[in-house]
């Protein structure tokens, strides 16, 4: 050892003998090795004194929230803790905190060194106590730290769920720099002392299968080891290192218990790698039959293939299982089951073909028409009349879908209601929508206001009745400001954590401004607070004519949202004005519309008091377009500027409807080599451009909009759900504004963007091409909840006679043909619309969509299913519509499903 090193050690020992400030500095500098050297030979009494000071120092730093211990500082802290604290419990109280990062094996080696020098024997206890604090946020490095200590002490690993997950992650992706890093996975498993304890738990921890099926990429990033872990486990089983029955039974047990489909995939792969013998499958045939009938489709398919290889499987077992399998919606699984039954009837059990054919007829009621046809043909081949076997009824030619066997809208429900009732219907059977519900009564009590504010802050703006809350806030503050402030302050403090601050990623965020209005109510408007509100009104400016005008600063923020923000900001400016009678624009209907007489009464109560400009503007925009002249005359008779403005608005016909035309938005240029956002963006999107009618000045730019840029939409905070209530009579304007968010649900697989569509359906005014596009995009949304919202809107619009199926169908066909929307997603909601009572609407939509789909360069996935649905709706409604391109597809040679379904539709149209 050099003289310099000896001098450093001597200095560290001297410093530790006199005080701990320099030890704390070494921890802060992540100097773990110097701490080990400095503590060497230190008396135990002095160590305990340092330990007490160290504990207080750590607590103070974390109490002040000034410390997050990185892997370097965490390692230095671990060395000091083990070198000075008296027990494992006290050491774990510090090292078990989530704020202390421990850098795997490197930290553990230094900790063991200092423990050995000190002569303590509780490192294993410490490791177990740290492991007991694992959470889902625990990093794998903390597991490696614990595992190193446990291996060194010869102790068994913890087998709780999180420990198993971390162990598996550590095995798959070992710590860089260690000798095991470059070893193949199978070698790492063979040498892992924890494998016997962890292996049974692999099959017991829910969701672990998603880690098991991970593919390993080579160091050159060009080679890839597919299904590395299942392959390694199968290899070790073949070598006799692992118990093969444990792996087979464990995999089957996991599949029987069920899990998310993605998590079950790994165990299907493992069974495939193990390749169970016929004897092994026969011994477990009961389990395989349960999987065939009840498991998700990929698992059931695996079980089906395994069972079909058994020569002596009892026929009764196959038939019992088939009666359930043939009801399943998984077409490939049902088709394979029918093929299996056909082979049994033709070869293995020819003497029982009639019994087998009777089971085959179960599929005559299947929702998929091609399976119904196949079942009919097979049953007939084996000498059984399907219609007779089904009691004289059949679902052939009828409408069916998921749940059709028991649902009132399915084929069975139709027959129970009277045979061919569905075939007699030539149109839709949708109930007319109820008139808009009246708006809730105004808030008249401070306690009720507090409850509504708490509910609003709990919804993050998702369609909450913001107008009613703001109106109650203004009126109650004018009546008793101190009580309002005293009541709301604890509610806001307790509830607004998710609303606090401006969410910078979302340009539509109004969380901060709304909470600020609540916090301003009932307080003294100090000059600085007042000036802040005035600064927020920078979004409003005056033109040379003196007319307020909304300023557009972000192309992602439509004018309807700028108006909403301006009005809320204006409320913040005047919320504490004495004698405020309430807001003019509070709706009288749940859809946001306002009764002209109610507005007239409010203006009368206002007297000579000047209302807020944006409050009155919003009130005018909520009025119906057609109002009697008597109301305008009464407004003019008020003799106030607000009354005159109302009269002029009514006599001028209000806000006109815009002109719309399609426009294409193109993805921006790549900004850098690794442009993450660019790779998420769709290349092209069809949007809508708005322009005011000729001669209309459009002072607020509500009718002037260019296509918004294509971006990764922000996490949904629900504010766009308020847009329909801002312009309740201009459905097309709101649809054009919301179209980027709706489209992103389909072409970028985002979610929640279609939640605005059912609210739009309750509005009024023409939707135009904007609404057609919105519904078309929504039908192809990635997530089921978004497609359900679109279906709700479609049914509401169709029931009101305000849906354009031809326009929507043409847009859907173009979007799918242009690879903007996936057709396979749209089939389900369209079939559900038929079952809900809209077969004619769906048929017209399909007839308009099919020409573009049939002539597409590549047939879209899901087109045969769409043709099937078209044939069913055409037959049901009895309406014949031309479908250009159908004859050419139907005339193609071969018997592909596309050609078969095209011929089916052609036949249906010929007999209609």
Q: Where are the domains of the chain?
A: 1-155, 446-651, 659-911
Residue 202, pLDDT above cutoff 90: yes
Residue 216, pLDDT above cutoff 90: no
What's the rounded Cα separation, in Å, for the pair 790 and 775?
6
What's the rounded Cα separation, in Å, for the pair 680 and 748?
7
Q: CA quadruple 422, 427, 428, 431: dihedral positive or negative?
A: negative
Q: What distances in angstroms separate CA 822 from CA 401, 647, 780, 804, one per listed residue? A: 20, 50, 6, 21
343-387 pLDDT, tens per residue?
A: 999 988 989 999 999 999 999 988 888 898 899 999 999 888 776
Q: How confident is the model at residue 544 (pLDDT cuts 50, 70, 90)?
A: very low
pLDDT of residue 425: 42
Range in 211-220, 639-648, 726-735, 776-785 the model is least confident about: 211-220
Q: How confident is the model at residue 779 (pLDDT cuts 50, 70, 90)?
A: very high
Q: How confident is the model at residue 391 (pLDDT cuts 50, 70, 90)?
A: low
What mean pLDDT do residues 151-175 have?
90
- 3-class DSSP assignment, residue 541: strand
Backbone φ and ψ of 648, nearest 5°? -65, -40
Residue 848, pLDDT above cutoff 80: yes
What mean pLDDT do residues 846-853 have?
97
CA 507-512-515 angle, to 5 degrees, is 145
Q: Which has the closest alpha carbon to 745: 704, 709, 785?
A: 785
HSE toward the beta carbon, residue 158, CA cutoff 13 A:
23
Say if CB 361 and CB 400 are below 8 A apart: no
883-894 pLDDT, tens per residue?
A: 999 999 999 988
pLDDT of residue 536: 64
What mean pLDDT do residues 213-234 have?
71
What mean pLDDT do residues 265-269 have?
94
Q: How confident is the model at residue 834 (pLDDT cuts 50, 70, 90)?
A: very high
The single-letter DSSP state of residue 345 is: I
Backbone φ and ψ of 438, nearest 5°? -65, 150
Q: What share of the chain is helix, strand, coil (3-state, %, to 5)?
A: 60, 5, 35
Q: Which two tokens stand for residue 602?
A: 């409010």
pTM tops 0.85: no
Q: CA quadruple 433, 434, 439, 440: dihedral positive or negative?
A: negative
Q: Which has the closest alpha carbon to 260: 205, 329, 328?
A: 205
pLDDT of residue 540: 58
pLDDT of residue 500: 52
Residue 465, pLDDT above cutoff 80: no
Q: CA quadruple 58, 60, 63, 64: dihedral positive or negative?
A: negative
Place of tokens 């218990």: 257
Range in 558-562, 605-609, 832-836 the model is least confident about: 605-609
pLDDT of residue 405: 33
What's the rounded Cα separation, in Å, for the pair 650 and 84?
83
- Where is pLDDT greater, at 548 or 138? 138
- Where is pLDDT greater, at 602 or 13? 602
Mean pLDDT (the chain) is 85
Place of tokens 């697989």: 749
Q: How confident is the model at residue 283 (pLDDT cuts 50, 70, 90)?
A: very high
- Where is pLDDT greater, at 413 or 344? 344
Identity of the highest mean pLDDT range in 116-130, 510-524, 532-546: 116-130
Cβ-in-10-Å burial (0-12, 13-18, 19+) of 422 comes to buried
Residue 397, pLDDT above cutoff 80: no
> What proportion of the chain, given as a percentage, has pLDDT over 70?
85
What mean pLDDT do residues 330-339 have?
94
What's the rounded Cα separation, in Å, for the pair 779 and 841?
14
Q: How confident is the model at residue 495 (pLDDT cuts 50, 70, 90)?
A: low
The single-letter DSSP state of residue 705 is: B
pLDDT of residue 392: 45
pLDDT of residue 472: 93
Q: Which has the closest alpha carbon to 57: 39, 69, 45?
A: 69
**How many other C-beta atoms can be found within 10 angstroms of the C-beta atom of residue 897?**
14
Beta-carbon contacts of 640 under 8 Å, excluding residues fewer than 6 positions away, are: 603, 606, 607, 608
Cα first-last separation, the chain = 100
> What proportion of the chain, given as a percentage, has pLDDT over 90?
54
Say if CB 290 and CB 256 are below 8 A apart: yes
700-730 pLDDT, tens per residue?
A: 899 999 999 888 876 666 889 999 999 999 9
- Where is pLDDT greater, at 370 or 287? 287
Query: Which residues, listed in sequence order, are joined to residue 438 by a DSSP beta bridge?
Result: 589
pLDDT of residue 402: 35
Helices 641-651 and 629-637, packing angle to 10 deg: 160
Q: CA quadruple 706, 707, 708, 713: dihedral positive or negative?
A: positive
Q: Which residues of 373-383 are buried (b: 16+ CB within 10 A; e: fewer)?
A: bbbbebbeebe
What's the rounded Cα separation, in Å, for the pair 841 and 757?
18
CA 459-461-466 angle, to 5 degrees, is 110
What mean pLDDT do residues 487-501 have?
69
Say if CB 90 and CB 134 are below 8 A apart: no
Place of tokens 């109004």: 510
What's the rounded Cα separation, in Å, for the pair 560 and 738?
10
Q: Which residues of 443-467 are buried (b: 16+ CB within 10 A; e: fewer)?
A: beebeebbebbbebbeebbbbbbbb
- 3-class DSSP assignment, residue 528: helix
Say if CB 499 and CB 512 are below 8 A apart: yes
**How many other C-beta atoms can be found within 10 angstroms of the C-beta atom of residue 46?**
13
Q: CA quadruple 147, 150, 154, 156: dihedral positive or negative?
A: negative
The single-letter DSSP state of residue 654 is: S
Residue 268, pLDDT above cutoff 90: yes
Range in 19-23, 631-635, 678-682, 685-689 the model is least confident about: 19-23
pLDDT of residue 399: 46
HSE toward the beta carbon, residue 889, CA cutoff 13 A:
29
What's the rounded Cα separation, in Å, for the pair 187 and 164?
19
- Where is pLDDT greater, at 333 or 109? 333
pLDDT of residue 714: 64
What mean pLDDT do residues 533-553 have?
61
What's the rounded Cα separation, in Å, for the pair 857 and 84?
74
Cβ-in-10-Å burial (0-12, 13-18, 19+) of 159 comes to middle
């Amino acid at each position: 050892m050099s003289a310099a090193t000896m001098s450093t050690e001597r200095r560290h020992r001297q410093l530790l003998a006199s005080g701990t400030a320099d030890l704390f500095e070494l921890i802060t500098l992540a100097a773990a090795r110097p701490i080990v050297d400095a503590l060497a030979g230190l008396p135990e009494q002095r160590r305990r004194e340092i330990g007490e000071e160290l504990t207080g120092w750590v607590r103070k730093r974390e109490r002040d929230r000034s410390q997050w211990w990185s892997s370097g500082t965490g390692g230095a802290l671990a060395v000091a803790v083990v070198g000075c604290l008296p027990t494992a419990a006290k050491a774990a109280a510090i090292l078990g905190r989530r704020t202390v990062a421990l850098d795997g094996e490197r930290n553990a080696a230094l900790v063991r060194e200092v423990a050995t020098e000190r002569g303590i024997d509780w490192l294993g206890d410490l490791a177990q106590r740290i492991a007991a604090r694992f959470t889902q946020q625990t990093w794998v490095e903390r597991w490696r730290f614990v595992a190193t200590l446990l291996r060194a002490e010869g102790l068994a690993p913890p087998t709780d769920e999180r420990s198993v997950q971390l162990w598996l992650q550590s095995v798959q992706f070992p710590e860089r720099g260690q000798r095991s890093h470059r070893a193949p996975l199978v070698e790492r498993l063979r040498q892992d002392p924890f494998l016997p304890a962890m292996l049974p738990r692999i099959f017991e921890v829910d969701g672990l299968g998603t880690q098991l099926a991970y593919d390993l990429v080579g160091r050159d990033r060009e080679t890839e080891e597919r299904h590395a872990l299942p392959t390694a486990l199968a290899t070790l089983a073949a070598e006799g290192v692992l118990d093969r029955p444990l792996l087979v039974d464990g995999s089957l047990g996991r599949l029987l218990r069920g899990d998310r489909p993605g998590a079950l995939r790994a165990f299907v792969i493992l069974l495939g790698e193990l390749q169970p013998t016929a004897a092994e499958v026969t011994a477990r045939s009961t389990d395989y039959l349960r999987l065939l009938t009840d498991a998700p489709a990929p698992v059931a398919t695996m079980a089906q293939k395994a069972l079909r290889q058994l020569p002596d499987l009892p026929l009764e077992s196959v038939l019992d299982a088939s009666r359930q399998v043939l009801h399943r919606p998984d077409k490939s699984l049902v088709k394979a089951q029918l093929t299996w039954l056909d082979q049994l009837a033709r070869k293995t059990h020819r003497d029982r073909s009639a019994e087998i054919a009777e089971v085959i007829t179960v599929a005559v009621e299947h929702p998929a028409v091609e399976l119904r046809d196949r079942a009919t043909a097979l049953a007939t081949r084996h000498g059984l009349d399907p219609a007779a076997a089904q009691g004289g009824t059949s679902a052939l030619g009828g409408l069916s879908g998921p749940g059709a066997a028991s649902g009132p809208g399915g084929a069975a429900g139709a027959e129970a209601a009277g045979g061919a009732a569905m075939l007699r219907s030539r149109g839709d059977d949708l109930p007319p929508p109820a008139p808009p519900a009246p708006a809730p009564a105004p808030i008249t009590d401070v306690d009720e206001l507090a409850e509504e504010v708490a509910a609003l802050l709990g919804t993050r703006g998702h369609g909450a009745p913001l107008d009613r809350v703001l109106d109650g806030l203004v009126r109650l503050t004018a009546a008793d400001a101190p009580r309002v402030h005293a009541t709301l302050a604890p509610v806001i403090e307790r509830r607004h954590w998710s609303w606090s601050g401006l969410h910078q990623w979302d340009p539509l965020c109004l969380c901060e401004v709304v909470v600020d209005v609540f916090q301003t109510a009932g307080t003294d408007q100090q000059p600085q607070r007042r000036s802040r509100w005035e600064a927020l009104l920078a979004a409003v400016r005056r033109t040379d004519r003196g007319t307020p005008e909304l300023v557009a600063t972000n192309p992602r923020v439509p004018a309807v949202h700028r108006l909403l923000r301006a009005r809320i900001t204006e409320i913040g400016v005047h919320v504490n004005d004495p004698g405020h009678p309430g807001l003019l624009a509070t709706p009288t209907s749940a859809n946001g519309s306002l009764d002209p007489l109610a507005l007239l009464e409010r203006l009368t109560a206002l007297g000579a008091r000047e209302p807020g400009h944006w409050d009155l503007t919003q009130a005018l925009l909520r009025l119906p377009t057609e109002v009697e002249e008597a109301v305008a005359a009464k407004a003019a008779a008020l003799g106030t500027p607000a009354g005159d403005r109302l009269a002029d608005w009514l006599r001028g016909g209000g806000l006109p409807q815009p002109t719309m035309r399609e426009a294409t938005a193109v993805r921006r240029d790549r900004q850098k080599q690794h442009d993450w956002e660019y790779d998420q963006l769709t290349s092209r999107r069809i949007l809508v451009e708005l322009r005011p009618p000729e001669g209309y000045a459009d002072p607020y730019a509500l009718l002037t909009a260019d296509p918004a840029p294509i971006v990764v939409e922000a996490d949904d905070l629900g504010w766009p759900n308020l847009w329909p209530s801002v312009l309740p009579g201009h459905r097309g304007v709101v649809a054009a504004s919301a179209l980027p968010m709706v489209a992103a649900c389909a072409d970028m697989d985002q979610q929640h963007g279609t939640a605005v569509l059912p609210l739009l359906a309750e509005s009024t005014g023409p939707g135009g091409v904007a609404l057609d596009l919105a519904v078309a995009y929504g039908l192809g949304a990635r997530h089921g909840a978004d497609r359900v919202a679109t279906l709700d809107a479609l049914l509401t619009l169709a029931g009101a006679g305000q849906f354009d199926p031809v326009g929507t169908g043409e847009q859907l066909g173009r979007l799918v043909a242009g690879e903007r929307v996936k057709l396979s997603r749209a089939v389900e909601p369209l079939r559900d619309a038929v079952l809900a009572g809209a077969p004619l609407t769906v048929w017209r939509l399909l007839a308009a969509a099919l020409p573009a789909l049939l002539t597409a360069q590549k047939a879209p996935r899901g087109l045969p299913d769409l043709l099937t649905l078209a044939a069913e709706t055409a037959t049901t409604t009895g309406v014949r519509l031309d479908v250009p391109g159908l004859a050419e597809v139907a005339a193609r040679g071969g018997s592909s499903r596309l050609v078969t379904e095209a011929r089916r539709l052609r036949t249906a149209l010929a007999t209609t």
